[in-house]
Structure 1
Amino acid sequence: METLNFKTNIKCSNCVAAVTPFLNDIEQLDGWNVDTNSPDRILTVQTTDTRIGDEVKKAIEKAGYKAEPMTERP
């Protein structure tokens, strides 16, 4: 399993609730979490397909938020 990290503007539990249906629709995701306490609001996704980065970014944008891929989690 691989882990992908994204810097987001998801700030609170209501924001997490807003993106949940969009992320849950991505079949290749085995799990995900948003660290709303981090200054970068890091979205971490677990997947077996590392090529889904664009799909994750588009799902977040459909929910009205932004996500930028990170090379490493700080």
Structure 2
Amino acid sequence: MKTLELKTNIMCGSCIAKATPSLNEAIGEGSWRVDTQSPKKILSVTSDKLSEEEVIKAVEKSGYKAEKLS
């Protein structure tokens, strides 16, 4: 398994609740988490199948933005 980390604008528990259905569908329940305490609001995804681009699209589908860490 590889872990992808992306910067997001998912800011709080309410945002996570809104994004959860789309992210669970695209990524899989229990395969992702958002660190809302981090200034960059890091989304960590554990998957062997998904690319960064696919994860970014899933986040955008949920109404939020994600980008590669710089």
TM-score, structure 1 normalization = 0.82
- Counterpart of 1:15 in structure 2: which amino acid? C
Residue number in structure 1 paired with 2:47: 47
Runs of 4+ in 1 over 6 A off after TM superposition: none
- 1:25 match: secondary structure: helix
- Counterpart of 2:44 in structure 1: which amino acid? T
Matched, 1:6 2:6: yes
CA separation in 1, counterparts of 2:30 and 2:46?
5
Instruction: List runs of 5+ in structure 2 lacking aligned partners.
Output: none
CA separation in 2, counterparts of 1:27 and 1:65?
15
CA separation in 1, counterparts of 2:8 and 2:30?
19
Equivalent runs, 1:1-74 vs 2, <5 Å: 1-26=1-26, 31-49=31-49, 51-70=50-69
Deviation of the 1:18 alpha carbon: 1.0
* Identity fraction in percent: 49
